[in-house]
Chain A
Amino acid sequence: MGSQGGFGQSKEFLDLVKSIGEARSKSEEDRIILGEIETLKRRIVEPDIPKRKMKEYIIRLVYVEMLGHDASFGYIHAVKMTHDDSLLLKRTGYLAVTLFLNEDHDLIILIVNTIQKDLRSDNYLVVCAALNAVCRLINEETIPAVLPQVVELLGHAKEAVRKKAIMALHRFYQKSPASVLHLISNFRKTLCDKDPGVMGATLCPLFDLVTVDVKSHKDLVISFISILKQVAEKRLPKSYEYHQMPAPFIQIKLLKILALLGSGDKQASEQMYTVLGDIFKKSDTLINIGNAVLYECICCVSCIYPNPKLLDTAADAISKFLKSDHNLKYMGIDALGRLIKISPDIAEQHQLAVIDCLEDPDDTLKRKTFELLYKMTKSSNVEVIVNRMIDYMISINDNHYKTEIASRCVELAEQFAPSNHWFIQTMNKVFEHAGDLVNIKVAHNLMRLIAEGFGEDDDNADSQLRSSAVESYLRIIAEPKLPSVFLQVICWVLGEYGTADGKYSASYITGKLCDVAEAYSNDETVKAYAITALMKLYAYEIAAGRKVDILPECQSLIEELSASHSTDLQQRAYELQALIGLDARAVETVMPSDASCEDIEIDKSLSFLNHYVQESVEKGAQPYIPESERTGMLNTSSFRNEDHHEASMHGLRFEAYDLPKPVVPSKSPVTYTPSTELVPVPEPSYSREVHTSTAVPSISSSGSTELKLRLDGVQKKWGRPNYSSGSTSTSESSSQKTVNGVAQTESVSTSTSRAQATSSFDLKKPQVEISPEKQRLAASLFGGPSKTDKRPTSSSHKVVKSSSHTTERPPAAKPVDASEKSTPVQPPPDLLDLGEPTVTSSAPLIDPFKQLEGLLDQGENVSVPNHGAVNATKPPEIMSLYVEIAASGQSGGVVNPIPTNGDDLLSGLSGGSIKTAAPGGAAGSPSLSKGPSLKDSLEKDALVRQMGVTPTSQNPNLFKDLLG
């Protein structure tokens, strides 16, 4: 427990925390907190509260707010506390305000002054606390108030301050890019800071800057590569290592930046190949962080100008991911989606792994896999993929994701639809199940598509498309509770094409439309669509010379709508009535049949009115004055501009007003206008000044882009003294050579690796039979990448296609299936069992280590054939990942609050060393670097008891070490 042992708060507060801990329900918790709020409200306004006491009240407010209650009555006291001289109180004040206030809160203006003062403090801890607050609280309006000071702090002696100043500038950049644009050269300078932490922090703003503008940072490629190289060579201080990886977080940031810089730039990319290859080699795939770096490497390789050798390495890494646990599978699928853009064939090797992921009970993984499928859709597999997507879409309730997947279905269907019939069917399904979630534009697109056909000059196909649409809609229309958007489409199509092929009579379709209008009488849009459709149908009938007999229900609908509250509906109803009264020729002109795609010519100049205008003017009417001239006379437009200008300039200013300057001539009209504005006259000139002042630095910064990093200096800072800059340059050049060599023999090497792959497949031929269903799915998803042509419509073509693909598949594919299929370690009930294992006695019934052994055994069983060597070393890592999960069992009911031996969950945090000892006897073996947790827990328990705040709910989990 150490020096932080005594919790340091009053008994009262500890009791509060304790009672919250024991609350059985949310409502009980709320009741307690409301009581606490009342207490605090009363206490906090008492006169002469000692500062220590006040500090505790503030912390209690934080607690209240953390639990989701409103503590706004105390905000002002937190603000006051930031003014305090003592760092102890100031720190608490800052903590509280950063947690309480969003950047748009009114109280922030009261803190800005304090922050300004604290940024000037001699004590770097005060400066740090102020910078923390700056990052959270300073908004666009207040940036100018602190910006100069923050910039000044970039040169502070303490690296912690420099680092935080950079992060603050980064935050400013996110809020208002213009405010710090002139500081880009400063970021370039801090990139060479001697402290790695500062350099690492600088990568955050640089990443954002590069994202926005790649070109102007191309000159930094060399520096980033050199930094990355040094990091990978472990030249940074030991304290930046994380699980034996050299500064992995910095590596990841650098890889992200390089990916941006190398994208589409062959020359820049070529410089990166060597270091990327090195990182691929050096990343430890047995630990999570190693895989994180590896994943970022794959992302980088897939972004930059492609290099075959690196792509192969990336593909290998992906296949390892896909064979590992769920997290890595997820990353593997994601990486596959990135790589597939460059080498589309790569997915094929992993088809069964992908299908396993698709059928995984884990929703997250499933969704990621759908994303991958979306990326690899082509016309040969669109049906399978979209159907799967729709099935999944129907099964979920999450509206956010439903919307996304629906729009993807639509996009794919529009892009790759093999037949009109299928397209309409698919769209119907999407609309039926997610109609209200898709963008209205999708509906408009669908209507347009049905109207225009598929763009081929085949009228027959188009009319076929329409009649199949009409048919399907007449079938669906009777279903209850269709989404509004879908009904609009249905009404429109029925109105436009319902009677076009002569299959259905007008009275049949009008009857259906009336039913719709009646069933959805609350939806005015649908009613409007319905009545317009009615009008069209009647118009076509009249134009065709047939006698129109209006059904009684239609008649009553028209009457009802002509008395509607909505003027739109009324107008439509009256128009319909008027149209019915016209003769055939007039109707034909007003409502031509199938003319929805024809362009309507609009004469914007209204030239047909010229004659009338002429006449009127001759009779003495006023000539028309265009709007621009009218407003010009009254000067209102310049008024407007001014207003607008003011709005954009509105904001607090923290520096003194400028001296009034002679008004800029062009602005002179403003001064003469009878101004109702409160703005003083010099305002415009002031704003101008600001503009110019921001403009000047940007020029200077563009000049400073030529400022090159002196890499020798950088190397000296981190390298050991015996590393001279010369040696690195030679090593670079030699490795460059090897790259070239590889590039020459590249085609040979890939072909041999292919051959190896197939031979290894052959070795494992005698294997488990895969289900034919899965095989078929795989074939239909991945088979025939060459078959990208559009397929002709045929009712049975799906079956035909998949079977043909199955036969086409190379013989090697089958064994792959077998090995893949057995890979997922699936104890069937476990995966679905979401509840905790029910453990009632104090002793752990489930021995975590047994479980793990099982896991280990399975793991070995599965992949011994090809990855024995890898897996033999792998299990310990898997164990350490899952240990914490395995021992989750102790819920209520346990009497003894002292953790039993079984609770001790330590294991190989320290880099893969497993505790093999059975969980009995001395659990915390002294050989481990971690302190014995049992002893610690006992100490903590004793301490808590002393203070009389032992949680009576006896939740032993509270005492459990978070880290084993």
Chain B
Amino acid sequence: MIHFVLLISRQGKVRLTKWYSAYPQKERTKVIREISGEVLARGPKLCNFVEWRGLKVVYRRYASLYFCMCINQGDNELEVLEIIHHYVETLDRYFGSVCELDLIFNFHKAYYILDELLLAGELQESSKKTVARLIAGQDALVETAKEEANSISNIIAQASK
């Protein structure tokens, strides 16, 4: 099971955090500090895994962004590495050549996508197409909501003329 997901930039800035196990706020800050210390200090060509407090952190670097997932001792690290990649590919598909800036300004969308991929610390959907379809469905709803809101405000504007 995945305990948490962290996205940290090369400079140690937090880009996204998602907790599947219960960590109180104070503990979270500590965890982030510890993990970013461990992961960012690692050189290239080493394993993408770090043992941490009896758990394992699997990380992968994309451009200057580190994607970290914390898993149990018995889990398959290579699989988690691919779950990360799967997430990045899904983000890429959604944003179109996703870059760090997309995630900085649209972190809530990154959360929505993550929620379609992982649930309760497990991979719930391994088909990118299905995830994309669900996200699109939600976005479409958002669009119609916006249009409705606009038309209502137009009506109000006209009425108040």
Contacts and interface: CB of A to CB of B under 8 A. Distances in A.
Most chain A CB atoms below 10 A, which of B97, B109, B112:
B97
B82 A289 contact: yes
A831 B64 contact: no
Nearest to A245: B82
Interface in A338-365: 361-362, 364-365
Contact of B97 (A128, A237, A933): A933
A508 interface: no
Interface in B112-132: 112, 115, 119-120, 122-130
Contacts of B122: 167, 170, 201, 204
B123 A249 contact: yes
Interface string B133-161: 01001110110011001000000000000
Contacts of A276: none
Nearest to A29: B13
Interface in B31-80: 32, 41-51, 53-54, 61-65, 76-79
A91 interface: yes
A908 B107 CA distance: 27
A104 B22 CA distance: 9
Interface stretch (A63-71, A724-732, A789-797): A63-71
A67 B108 contact: no
B113 to A, nearest CB: 11
Contacts of B76: 252, 292, 295-296, 299
B40 to A, nearest CB: 9
A98 B46 CA distance: 35
Interface in A112-139: 125, 128, 132, 135-136
Interface string A57-92: 001001101111010000000000000001110011
A944 interface: yes
The 3 closest A-B pairs by CB, nearest first: A292-B78, A957-B64, A239-B129
A241 B115 CA distance: 21
Contacts of B20: 136
A326 B45 contact: yes
A834 B41 contact: yes
Main secondary structure of the interface of A (DSSP, over half): helix
B98 A4 contact: no
Given A364-B51, A958-B104, 19 more contacts: A9-B105, A29-B13, A66-B16, A68-B28, A103-B22, A125-B138, A167-B120, A292-B79, A299-B76, A326-B48, A330-B49, A330-B77, A831-B43, A834-B42, A891-B10, A940-B101, A957-B9, A958-B64, A963-B97
A731 to B, nearest CB: 27
A12 to B, nearest CB: 13
Contacts of B92: 961-963
A864 to B, nearest CB: 21
A17 B100 CA distance: 13
B64 A400 contact: no
Nearest to A71: B25
Contact of A91 (B41, B105, B112): B112
Given A4-B109, A163-B125, A963-B92, A331 B78 contact: yes
Contact of A7 (B17, B97, B106, B138): B106
A281 interface: no
A245 B120 CA distance: 25
Contact of A197 (B41, B54, B125, B139): B125
Contacts of B46: 326, 361-362, 364-365, 831
Nearest to A937: B99
Nearest to B119: A167
Contact of A882 (B44, B47, B54): B44
A317 to B, nearest CB: 13
Contacts of B102: 940
A252 B75 CA distance: 10
A66 B17 contact: yes
B77 to A, nearest CB: 7
Most chain A CB atoms below 10 A, which of B54, B89, B123:
B123
Contacts of B141: 87-88, 125
Contacts of A404: 54
23 contacts: A2-B95, A63-B107, A66-B17, A67-B14, A88-B141, A103-B22, A170-B120, A248-B82, A249-B82, A288-B82, A288-B85, A331-B78, A364-B47, A830-B43, A832-B43, A834-B41, A834-B43, A888-B10, A888-B63, A933-B97, A955-B64, A957-B100, A961-B97
A21 interface: yes
A160 B134 CA distance: 8
B47 A330 contact: yes
A936 B99 CA distance: 10
Contacts, number: 254
Contact of A957 (B23, B42, B63): B63
Contacts of B109: 4
A29 B11 CA distance: 13
Contact of A239 (B50, B63, B104, B130): B130
Interface string A192-206: 000011001100100
Given A132-B119, A167-B119, A249-B79, A95 B14 contact: no
Nearest to A238: B129
Contacts of B42: 834
Contacts of A958: 64, 99-101, 104
Contacts of A62: 107-108, 111
A329 B98 CA distance: 31
A963 B78 contact: no
A200 B99 contact: no
A962 B88 contact: yes
A933 B98 CA distance: 9
A229 to B, nearest CB: 18
Contacts of B28: 68
Nearest to A909: B89
A379 to B, nearest CB: 28
Nearest to A9: B105
A962 B54 contact: no
A960 interface: yes
Contacts of B50: 364
Contacts of A66: 14, 16-17, 107
Contacts of A365: 46-47
Nearest to A51: B149
Contacts of A400: 53-54
Contacts of B61: 884-885, 888
Contacts of A164: 119, 124
B52 to A, nearest CB: 8
A1 B98 CA distance: 8
A68 B24 CA distance: 11
Interface string A856-885: 000000000000000000000000001011
Given A62-B108, A884-B63, A959 B101 contact: yes
A107 to B, nearest CB: 14
B62 A963 contact: yes
B64 A960 contact: yes
A382 interface: no
A88 B22 contact: no
A240 B47 contact: no
A327 B95 contact: no
A102 interface: yes
A887 to B, nearest CB: 8
A136 B49 CA distance: 26
A86 B79 contact: no
A288 B128 contact: no
Contacts of A295: 76, 78
B49 A135 contact: no
A367 interface: yes
A400 B86 CA distance: 32
Interface string A668-710: 0000000000000000000000000000000000000000000
B138 A905 contact: no
B96 to A, nearest CB: 5
A14 interface: yes
A99 interface: yes
B65 A327 contact: no
A168 interface: yes
